[in-house]
Amino acid sequence: MTFRLGLTGSIGMGKSTTAKLFSEAGCDVWDADAAVHRIYTEGGAAVEPMRALFPVAIIDGAVSRDVLKQIIAEQPDALKQIEQIVHPLVAVDRAEFVAAAKSDIIVFDIPLLFETGGNERMDAVAVVSIDAEEQRRRVLARGTMSEAQFEAILAKQVPDAEKRQKADYVIVTDTVEHARQQVQDILKDIREKMDA
**Domain limits of the chain?**
1-27+106-196, 33-102
Alpha carbon 103 to its chain centroid, in Å, reads: 20
Q: What is the pLDDT of residue 87?
A: 92
Q: Are 58 and 85 in contact (CB under 8 A)?
A: no
- The two beta strands, 105-109 and 28-31, are parallel
Q: What is the pLDDT of residue 62?
A: 97
The sign of the dihedral angle between the CA atoms of 106, 114, 19, 42 is positive
Q: What is the pLDDT of residue 183?
A: 98
**CA dihedral of residues 20, 24, 28, 34 (deg, nearest 10):** 30
- Positions in the chain whose pLDDT score sits under 70: none
Domains 1-27+106-196 and 33-102 share a fold: yes
**Superfamily (CATH H level) for 1-27+106-196:** P-loop containing nucleotide triphosphate hydrolases (3.40.50.300)
Which of 140, 103, 107 has its CA nearest to residue 9?
A: 107
Q: What is the pLDDT of residue 155?
A: 86
Which of 9, 19, 37 has its CA nearest to residue 183?
A: 19
Q: What is the pLDDT of residue 156?
A: 83
Phi, psi (deg, nearest 5) at residue 123 = -80, -30
Architecture label for domain 33-102: 3-Layer(aba) Sandwich (3.40)
